[in-house]
Structure 1
Amino acid sequence: MPTPHKHAPGSRPSAEWNGHRKGSRAYGRILAGLAFAGVATFAQLYSTQAVLPVMAAELRVTAAEAALTISLATVGLAVTVIPWSFLADRIGRVKAMTWGICLATALGLLVPLAPSFPVLLGLRMLEGMALGGIPAIAIAYLNEEIDRAHAAVAAGSYVAGTTLGGLAGRLVAGPAGELWGWRAAALSVSVLATVAAVLFLVLIPKARGFRPSPGIGFRGAARTLSGHVANPRLLALYVQAFLLMGGFVAVYNYLGFRLSGEPFSLPATLISFIFLAYLSGTATSRWAGALTQRFGRRTVLLAGIAVMAAGLALTLTQILALILAGLVVFTGGFFAAHSIGAGWTGAIAESGRAQAASLYNLAYYLGSSILGWAGGLLFQSLGWQALAAAVIILGCTTAVITAVVHPAAAHQRSRRQQGEPAASLNN
């Protein structure tokens, strides 16, 4: 009987376990389970986004203040992704995700009962802290449980599930908010998240690629995290996550305010339908993962950023049809770039994969919190044109950083040195 190979904490175990292959029953259950986890997580995280104008009017707060219900939830998620990742190293990926999704669902059911705006903000932050147990761990779980040949496609499928979650929450909240107010909107999303959480618990299979690691203490944790931050390839992905997500959330936070005002004057229910643009992200996040097998991660990521900028440029017009078309293109480009960046962290990190993914999520949600809120100040003072231009500049900055840190020639040489074809850059 073969002797198991030793392995580093957070890395793949012995060579005997290569992960579930595409087409297997466990592979399908993993993707389905994580898709429902994405629904439960992102329906709750952004549940107030579709009703921000309604909430601002009911609570008598400004657009930027209403957007704090998004920003504080994402701040809570950002500050807990790293602690959740270390907990997952001790107790297991599936157990940690289970704890997080159950706690978040319980807190989400309390949000509609908030007696005041400050209490609402506090509950939203706690909800975000609980939700940190999902994105912090999901990518590490995928990299341990899925065969490396299919890891990029699986990561794209997971991101596709997160887009469906965000879309479902907003489509449920918008009409409910217009008819019965923001509390009814929050309750309806929490019920949806509860159903999704139950389906996650039923579907997700036990981990086979995980081995628990002992507590490494503060110094060990600091070494792991600083090692990832010192890696320029990972750092470039963290910067990408911060800038792109910040711009993306700013666009969705304040486009509703633009469309509710003159000359469009759209009602909340119709405004909630703009989130159907997320369906383009559901498609492109999967396509992007598949395209890496032919063109490589770097090329697909840069293409996604270019598509983002082109789509956002269309929203600078006063023609509603062009604005909506631009939003579809912008959203598709963002999720293509995000699915590549999220999956790439696990491929680059040889050990401490959960922490590498957590740092990506930390940057991602800090961008959502800080830039997503700050975009409101720009929108309120200078209007939509200034906000859209600023987000395009963020995308261009990201593209330059990615192109410099991940030069095509060096990237292909690295793949060939590992004995893999230069055209197959999906690992």
Structure 2
Amino acid sequence: MPERRSRSIRSRPSAERVPQREEESAEGLLAPGAPGWSVFVWTLFLAGFATFALLFAPQAFLPALSQQLAVDADAASMTVSATTLGVAAGVLGWAGLSNRLGRLRTIRISLLLALLLALAVPFLPDLPSVVAVRFVEGLALGAAPAVGMASIAERVDGRWAAHVAGTFVAGNTLGGIVGRLASGAVADVGGWRAAFWTSAGTAAVAVVALLVLSRRLADHRPAEPPHGTGHALLANLRDPSMLALYLQGFLLMGAFGAVYNVFGYRVQEPDIGLPAWAASLLFIVYLAGSFAAQRSGALARREGTARAMVAGSAGMLVSLPMMASDSLVLMVAGLVLFTLGCFTTHPLAGGLSGRSARVGRPQSTALYQIAWLGGTSLFGWLGGLAYAATGWGTTLALVAVLCTAAALAAVLRGTVLTRIRPVLPTGG
């Protein structure tokens, strides 16, 4: 049974309300040209920007962190993996809380808590304490990943949901770029503490902008699933078509975490010899992810979602021999292609995790977030471990296995799994 429509929460007194709030079109769903469309999209963009500026900034200065704290790549990468693991652990809790507090209020609380924790990190004495607080910071950061895609599924006309999902992911990628570039540039001169200060300052700008802009939107919360949250989670986990989507996020973003955690180490090896500040600048190729995310919806409408997702995985596979080269130009070109492929598939799978769910859309999008964040955490760490043990080639071999499995999952979902979806219980 389709879920009931979201209901608005009016926090202002009735005398202050206007007849029609900005974000509501006549049909109650947003589309280009509808009042409040751009405000809604920009609010999600800023939420993603702030979240990812905090989440992935350390990737740019992992080699500096290794040198300054005298630890291996796998240990340093835990500053990223612990945070993504924290986000994965927190998304279901934030999703449930947003049902009570409202989507926007939950995002505001989450980002403010995470920002306070990020400001505490530079005061910590050693790597274990940094990893511990970064994990808690990840728990606090879970609202935007948990709520963003669910809000799109609830509030946006289905014809434009992939476009908005792409814009949300573009905010993620741009936040990741700015956080990496700013902190990476500072780390070589000011050390790892200054780098963490810089990433927190970058996120703070986006958080303030979000707090101001989101005041123009009325908050909303979804109706609870008719059989409860547990039923919705189990129903989606028993659906092979949905499992294939979650697997996409787990595998492809796991591959992404492995490559981006280790790439900076590789280009600073003696045969390439980039200085740390120049290596951190290479993360500007992450802009390719923003470009791909914004255009993934149009590609899916033109070629079909399954083909677009397989094409993304194929592009990632083609990039691996390029990144295995000893030529810096080929390596960077390969990283661009890898990023384009990853962010062609990721927003499509994320958007479908909400739209394709037949029960419990918020729970389904939360499961997708858990999958991709868990994959990033696990394989980001394993990629660093492989590099520390036997080198860059082993990391790329791991990534090849992940991309191949993701392509197979996309093919199976497009050809078989959508035809054998389980029957929902009556009223479910």
User: TM-score, with normalisation over the residues of structure 1?
Assistant: 0.90
Distance 1:220 1:317 in 2: 52
Once residues 184 and 206 of structure 1 are traced to their aligned partners in structure 2, the CA distance between those partners, rounded to angstroms, is 36
Give the secondary-structure state (helix, strand or coil) at the position aligned to 1:262: coil
Q: Give 1:255's aligned residue.
A: 263
Query: Given the alignment, which residue of 203, 206, 216 partners 2:217?
Result: 206
Q: Are 2:360 and 1:348 aligned?
A: no
In the alignment, which of 194, 209, 215 is matched to residue 204 of structure 2? 194
Cα drift, residue 211 of structure 1: 3.9
Shift of 1:21: 1.3
Distance (whole Å) between structure 1 residues aligned to residue 336 and residue 33 of structure 2: 30
Who is 1:380 aligned against?
A: 388
**Residue in 1 that maps onto 2:308:** 300
Structure 2 counterparts to residues 1-400 of structure 1, below 5 A:
8=3, 17-204=27-214, 205-207=216-218, 210-213=221-224, 220-400=228-408
Unaligned runs of 5+ in 1: 1-5, 415-427
Q: CA deviation at 1:274?
A: 1.5
- Which 4+ runs in 1 deviate beyond 6 A? 10-16, 408-411
Indicate how the Cα distance of structure 1 residues 11 and 349 shifts in structure 2: closer, same or farther if over 3 A, else same: farther
Structure 2 counterpart of 1:8, one-letter code: E
Secondary structure at 1:19's aligned position in 2?
A: coil
- % identical equivalent positions: 37
1:25 shift after superposition: 4.6
Q: 1:10 to 1:330 in 2, by over 3 A?
A: farther
Farther-moved stretch of structure 1 (198-207 vs 226-235): 198-207
Task: Render the CA deviation track for 1:296-317: whole Å, top value 9, x for unaligned.
Answer: 2111111111111112221111
Query: Equivalent residue for 1:425?
Result: none
Q: CA deviation at 1:322?
A: 0.3
Q: Which amino acid aligns with 2:151?
A: Y
CA distance in 2, matches of 1:123, 1:390: 29
- In 1, distance between residues paired with 2:276 and 2:350? 32
Amino acid at match of 2:318: A
Contact 1:17/1:209, CA 8 A, preserved across alignment: no
One-letter amino acid of the counterpart of residue 237, structure 1: L
Distance change (3 Å), C-alpha of 1:15 and 1:194: closer
Q: Structure 1 CA distance, aligned partners of 2:71 and 2:319?
A: 31
Letter in 2 for 1:196: A
Whether the 8 Å contact between 1:10 and 1:352 is mirrored in structure 2 is no
TM-score, normalization by structure 2:
0.90
| 1:11 positional shift | 6.4
**In structure 2, C-alpha distance between the alignment counterparts of 1:232 and 1:12, rounded to whole Å:** 31
Deviation, structure 1 residue 240: 1.2
CA RMSD of aligned residues (A): 2.4
Q: CA deviation at 1:207?
A: 4.6
Listed one character per residue, the Cα deviations across residues 373-410 of structure 1 (whole Å, up to 9, x for unaligned) are 01112112221112112211211111112211221896
Cα deviation code 1:252-310 (max 9, x no counterpart): 11111111112112111111111111111111111111222222211111111111111
Q: Which secondary structure does the structure 1 equivalent of 2:314 belong to?
A: helix
